[in-house]
């Protein structure tokens, strides 16, 4: 744990699913309802710093998140990104993309091509649906 790291010292995150290894959070971005982040719980810099089984465990959560978003939103594309240039603590961005979204076909961090959307409705429903799907995909049966 690094005291200055915002992902180690996270508070107020909207957690959709978590275990002792990682968590999936809802990113509150009005342009991108359904944008999720998968965050390793411990402070690790690169995927190759993890042992092989933990790399697979983390990616299984990323892929479950992608699957939950596809089921809920049927996006035109899902973007997976691991940057960490600003916060070098392993996390994956999982972003549902649509042909008419604010930045398509560019990455969401590029200059916008379109005006902001009006505030999305139904985000609470979407959040609950993602929570349920992730629980079903990731929680092993008793």
Per CB under 5 A, residues contacting Zn ion are 2, 5, 7-8, 43, 89
Residue 75 Cβ vs Zn ion, minimum distance, rounded to whole Å? 29
Residue 42 Cβ vs Zn ion, minimum distance, rounded to whole Å? 8
Helix ranges (H only) for 3-142 are 52-73, 123-138
Residue 82 Cβ vs Zn ion, minimum distance, rounded to whole Å? 14
Residue 24 is classified by DSSP as E
Closer by beta carbon to Zn ion, 43 or else 77: 43
Task: Say if CB 97 and CB 104 are below 8 A apart.
Answer: yes
CA distance 89 to 131: 24
Query: Nearest residue to Zn ion, using CB?
Result: 5
Residue 95 Cβ vs Zn ion, minimum distance, rounded to whole Å? 21
Closer by beta carbon to Zn ion, 89 or else 97: 89
Closer by beta carbon to Zn ion, 43 or else 128: 43
CA distance 63 to 68: 9
Tokens in use for 81? 């990104």
């Amino acid at each position: 744990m690094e005291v200055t790291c915002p992902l180690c010292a996270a508070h107020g995150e909207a957690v959709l699913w978590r275990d002792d290894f990682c968590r999936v959070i809802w990113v509150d971005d009005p342009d991108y309802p359904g944008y999720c982040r998968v965050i390793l719980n411990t402070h690790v810099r690169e995927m190759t710093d993890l042992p092989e089984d933990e790399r697979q465990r983390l990616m299984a959560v990323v892929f479950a998140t992608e699957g939950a978003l596809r089921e809920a939103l049927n996006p035109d594309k899902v973007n997976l990104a691991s940057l960490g240039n600003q916060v070098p603590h392993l996390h994956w961005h999982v972003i549902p993309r649509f042909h008419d979204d604010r930045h398509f076909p560019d990455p969401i961090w590029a200059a916008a091509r379109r005006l902001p959307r009006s505030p999305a409705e139904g985000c609470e429903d979407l959040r609950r649906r993602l929570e349920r799907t992730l629980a079903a995909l990731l929680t092993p049966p008793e």
